[in-house]
Structure 1
Amino acid sequence: MTQGGVRRRGAELEASLLEAAWEELAAVGYARLTMEGVAARARTGKQVLYRRWGNRAELVVAALRHRTGSIVDRIPDTGTLRDDVLTLLRRMVRRQHDVSPDVIHGLLAEVPEMNPEFFTVMREAMTAVLRQAADRGELTLDALPARVVTLPADLLRNEIFFAREPIAENTLLEIVDDVFLPLVRATAGGTSDR
């Protein structure tokens, strides 16, 4: 737990662990990433990692968020629901470029072992975006079915997991303009136009 003879604690220790995880991931890839390897790189014991993250998938997701920031920390407010949702989806696509397909497919394989909290980030972000839209009078939030809230992110996540090519802008437009907004209009009285 020491680095240069100084004991690391709290946020400093966590940042150090996440940086070590990112470096180890870059060095060995997802398939060969181990908690032991990350601990060795961070010059600590693996129990320090397991106190914070239940498995390597949770550690890798946390390292990615540490590196790029959390989507929830920067909720877009462009003035329209459509543009806010597109901004969130574009951020998800940019994150895809920060990790290799090896990492994406490794995480997909380990989703059942991950803490469900790791999947609430996009729900929180979409809820905030929809709340802003409701405040602007674009929709009635209480009329919106819960499953619709994360629909754009869920559809994009599916594209990311199974696509062999980078996600095209046209795919994002289809998700928002052809699926999400018509559904919002039909169920929550949305008035957003393209």
Structure 2
Amino acid sequence: MERRRGDELLESLFDATFQLMKETPHTNLTFQQIAEAAKTSRTVLYRRWPTTFDLLQDIYTYKARKLFEGEYFDELKDTGSLRGDFIQLLTVYQGVYDEIGADVMNNYFYIRMQDPDHSRETALHTASLEKHQQAIAHILKNAKARGEKIKKLSKVTLMLPFDLIRMENMARQANISKKRLIAMVDEVLLPVFS
């Protein structure tokens, strides 16, 4: 058996596990199945992940890295209005969701629900929450500077745009239209934030 290390081994494990999940629900996956599919040993898996939960969480975090790292926030420009900024934000969020894939994202959040006390939450996910809040705070700061009236809001409310997109993608796995995104801004976000 050829020895693989680092990123090459991770890619192989992650791809093999993803393929297995097309045939077997991830709740039934075993390290034996994953090791055989990835052409490696169970020892390699146990060395890094104590349980299949930990392995699956790492796979989904890896696949959704672009969402959590939040580099797409750099693409956001001041559109001249809070409404325009929110439409732009939701459009970018949705584009990232579409690129990653609803299955990856929904399975990631399903896995996260198996950890109700958040004791096994990844550092990347925790850091991403802060990035999302900072991005919304920046959008609101721009709106205030333009003279738009903005309500005083909690950190929970700052997560609303991200949570809204997440829930829409869980409820509607088809591509969410631009019209739908605009309705979310006009009917949900603007009344909450301004």
Give the TM-score, by structure 1 length: 0.64
After superposition, what is the alpha-carbon deviation per residue over 1:119-161, rounded to whole angstroms, capped at 9, x for unaligned? 43652442353355367x23589x5421022212223333333
Contact 1:159–1:167 under 8 Å retained in 2 = no
After superposition, what is the alpha-carbon deviation per residue over 1:90-131, rounded to whole angstroms, capped at 9, x for unaligned? 422554444598x57964763538622374365244235335
Contact 1:122–1:153 under 8 Å retained in 2 = no
- Which one of 4, 8, 11 corresponds to residue 7 of structure 2? 11
Number of the residue aligned with 2:81? none
Tell me the amino acid that sits aligned with residue 160 of structure 2. Answer: L
Map 1:33-112 onto structure 2 (within 5 A). 33-53=29-49, 55-67=51-63, 69-71=65-67, 72-76=69-73, 77-80=75-78, 81-82=85-86, 83-99=88-104, 103=107, 107=111, 110-112=114-116
Contact 1:96–1:160 under 8 Å retained in 2 = no
Contact 1:57–1:107 under 8 Å retained in 2 = yes
Say if 1:182 and 1:40 are closer, same or farther in 2 by CA, change over 3 A. same
How many residue pairs get aligned? The number is 177
Unaligned 5+ runs, structure 2: 79-84
Tell me the amino acid that sits aligned with residue 116 of structure 2. Answer: P
Residue 85 of structure 1 and its aligned partner are, at CA, apart by 3.4
Moved more, 173-182 or 14-23: 173-182
Unaligned 5+ runs, structure 1: 186-194
1:116 is paired with a residue whose SS is: coil
Say if 1:105 and 1:151 are closer, same or farther in 2 by CA, change over 3 A. closer
Distance in 2, matches of 1:113 and 1:56, equals 18
Number of the residue aligned with 2:186? 177
Number of the residue aligned with 2:133? 127
2:77 is paired with a residue whose SS is: coil
Give the TM-score, by structure 2 length: 0.64
Distance in 2, matches of 1:139 and 1:48, equals 53
Contact 2:94–2:165 under 8 Å retained in 1 = yes
Contact 1:24–1:41 under 8 Å retained in 2 = yes
The Cα RMSD (Å) is 3.8
Identity %: 23
Say if 1:44 and 1:165 are closer, same or farther in 2 by CA, change over 3 A. closer
Residue 68 of structure 1 and its aligned partner are, at CA, apart by 5.8
